[in-house]
């Protein structure tokens, strides 16, 4: 079942800025990774999905609802972490989370305390005095506390230390097992490799590829042939590196990391 559906979405800001003919589909229970550098169009796409921007051309839907016309209904149940989180700085973290809970009409049956403990977060202090990492944790808690079935996460681990980044990866894996549908925009290659079923890479506002992680690796696999001094050395080398031995010649296939594949797409026209 298709939960997130972006069809030929275009928003031209001029001078080559914007997004152009972007199409993305995310199935129920899938974690979809959205990769691209700053300014590539990730956040613009996500703002359309959130109903913050009206499409100039194309359309986008979440759970069969139009992201612009039905934005209020969509936002009721969605979990969202923006790329740059804005808070009421004079509030304490505790006051902010209570505000979110009241806004969503949450009773005592919510995941606030679970998320605070998972991310070792103390929300009592004033938000304006919090570090970026603490504010990010607050954003994560508010996005997950109402246990949404659909999550749109824009650079969700920005500012988190490696331990908390790992906790977040574990959380995404758990939510995926529950059948949640997640669109995850990230610069963290390991994070994407560990959590995402498929990946879309966007460059200059245009999608350059959408594929499963393993398919991307296989497509960018390199084969090397090594000549050794003797068949015995060749056999030893083949055994150590999972190669295929033919006399004193060994053929080895090497898959590239996601980061290397990503850089291939951003390395210039010769890598298109």
Q: Is the dihedral of CA 155, 157, 160, 161 positive or negative?
A: negative
Task: Quickly list DSSP for 23-35.
Answer: EEEEETT-EEEEE
pLDDT recorded at residue 191: 82
pLDDT (mean) for 45-66: 95
Predicted confidence band at 270 (pLDDT cuts at 50, 70, 90)?
very low
What is the token pair recorded at 70? 């039905």
Which pLDDT value is given to residue 127? 93
- Band (pLDDT 50/70/90 cuts) for residue 272 is very low
Say yes or no to pLDDT of 97 above 60: yes
Closest CA to 67 of 85, 53, 56, 57: 53
Q: Are 151 and 80 in contact (CB under 8 A)?
A: yes
Tens digit of pLDDT for each residue in 21-50? 999 999 999 999 998 888 889 999 999 999
* pLDDT at site 212: 78
C-alpha pair distances (Å), 245 with each of 9, 229, 236, 237: 50, 13, 9, 9
Q: pLDDT by residue (tens digit) across 213-227?
A: 777 666 656 677 888
For residue 99, which of 110, 88, 108 has the smallest C-alpha distance?
88
Residue 268 above 80 pLDDT? no
Enter the pTM of the model.
Answer: 0.81
Residue range 118-122: average pLDDT?
94
Q: How far apart are CA 138 and CA 158, in angstroms?
A: 12
Domain boundaries, the chain: 2-78+148-217, 222-254
- Using the predicted structure, report yes or no on whether residue 137 has a pLDDT greater than 70: yes
The token pair at 106 is 């949450």
Helix (H, G, I), strand (E, B) or coil at 124: coil
Planar angle of CA 171, 60, 141, nearest 5 degrees: 25
Reported confidence tier of residue 103, pLDDT bands at 50, 70, 90: confident
pLDDT at 126 over 60: yes
Q: Is 3 exposed, middle or buried (0-12, 13-18, 19+ CB in 10 A)?
A: buried
Backbone angles phi, psi at 96, to 5 degrees: -65, -45
Going by their DSSP bridges, the two strands 79-81 and 65-66 should be labelled as: unpaired
Those residues whose C-beta lies under 8 Å from the C-beta of residue 209, and which sit 6 or more positions away, are 199, 200, 201, 216, 265
Helix (H) or strand (E) holding 79: strand 79-81
At the top level of CATH, the class of 2-78+148-217 is: alpha beta
Q: How many Cβ atoms sit within 10 Å of the Cβ of residue 33?
A: 23
Q: What is the pLDDT of residue 192?
A: 84
Residue with the two structure tokens 């009421």: 88
Average pLDDT of the chain, as a whole number? 88
* Residue 254 scores a pLDDT above 70: no
pLDDT at 269 over 50: no
């Amino acid at each position: 079942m298709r939960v997130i559906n972006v069809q030929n979405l275009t928003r031209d800001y001029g001078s080559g800025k914007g997004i152009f003919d972007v199409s993305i589909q995310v199935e129920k229970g899938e974690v979809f990774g959205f990769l691209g550098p700053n300014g590539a169009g990730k956040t613009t796409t996500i703002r359309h999905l959130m109903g913050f921007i009206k499409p100039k051309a194309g359309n986008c839907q979440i759970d069969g609802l139009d992201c612009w016309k039905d934005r209020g209904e969509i936002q009721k149940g969605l979990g969202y972490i923006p790329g740059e989180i804005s808070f009421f700085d004079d509030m304490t973290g505790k006051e902010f989370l209570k505000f979110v809970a009241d806004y969503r009409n949450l009773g005592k049956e919510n995941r606030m305390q679970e998320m605070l403990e998972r991310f070792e977060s103390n929300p009592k202090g004033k938000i304006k005095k919090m570090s970026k990492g603490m504010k990010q944790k607050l954003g994560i808690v508010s996005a997950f506390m109402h246990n949404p079935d659909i999550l749109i996460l824009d650079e969700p681990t920005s500012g988190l230390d490696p331990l908390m980044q790992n906790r977040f990866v574990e959380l995404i894996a758990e939510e995926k097992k529950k059948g949640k549908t997640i669109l995850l925009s990230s610069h963290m290659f390991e994070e994407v490799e560990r959590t995402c079923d498929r990946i879309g890479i966007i460059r200059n506002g245009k999608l350059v590829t959408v594929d499963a992680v393993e398919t991307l690796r296989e497509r960018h696999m390199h084969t090397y042939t090594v000549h050794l001094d003797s068949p015995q050395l060749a056999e030893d080398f083949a055994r150590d590196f999972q190669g295929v031995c033919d006399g004193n010649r060994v053929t080895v296939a090497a898959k590239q990391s996601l980061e290397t594949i990503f850089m291939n797409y951003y390395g210039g026209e010769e890598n298109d």
